[in-house]
């Protein structure tokens, strides 16, 4: 299992619109590519020197081949949609991770 993480810092004046767009449009479109099993969005609870608010979206994918296929076939279109809607209002970075272990708390 792999995780494709996108961490985004969005300007405060665009945060509300961006957050609604991410939840109602962008993340569903990412899932509709058929490449990802699930998505989880988190707010990063650190005050940034540059201002704005930071969020992390983690998409799970079954294997690296599927993730590479996403980059070849869908990634540019998805990034272009974001840039067209919020140009100059955000910065982001991507991280690809391999899931090594997942554990759950036992219920006593």
Q: Which residues in the chain show pLDDT less than 70?
A: none
Look up the pTM and report it.
0.90
How many Å separate Cα 74 from the centre of its chain?
14
Residue 105 is predicted with a pLDDT of 94
Residue 49 is predicted with a pLDDT of 79
The domain defined by 7-98 folds into Alpha-Beta Plaits (3.30.70)
For the chain, the domains span 7-98
Task: Tell me the pLDDT tens digit for each residue of 48-60.
Answer: 777 899 999 999 9
E strand map for the chain: 2-10, 38-44, 53-61, 90-98
Q: What whole-number distance in Å separates Cα of residue 18 and Cα of residue 20?
A: 6
Residue 28 is predicted with a pLDDT of 97
């Amino acid at each position: 299992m792999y995780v494709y993480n996108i961490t985004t810092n969005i300007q405060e004046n665009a945060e509300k619109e961006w957050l609604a767009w991410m939840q109602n449009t962008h993340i569903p479109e990412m899932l509709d590519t058929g490449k990802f099993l699930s998505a989880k969005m988190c707010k990063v609870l650190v005050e940034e020197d540059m201002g704005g608010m930071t969020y992390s979206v983690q998409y799970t994918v079954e294997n690296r081949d599927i993730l590479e296929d996403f980059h070849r076939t869908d990634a540019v279109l998805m990034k272009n949609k974001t840039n067209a809607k919020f140009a100059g209002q955000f910065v982001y970075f991507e991280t690809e991770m391999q899931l090594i272990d997942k554990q759950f708390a036992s219920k006593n």
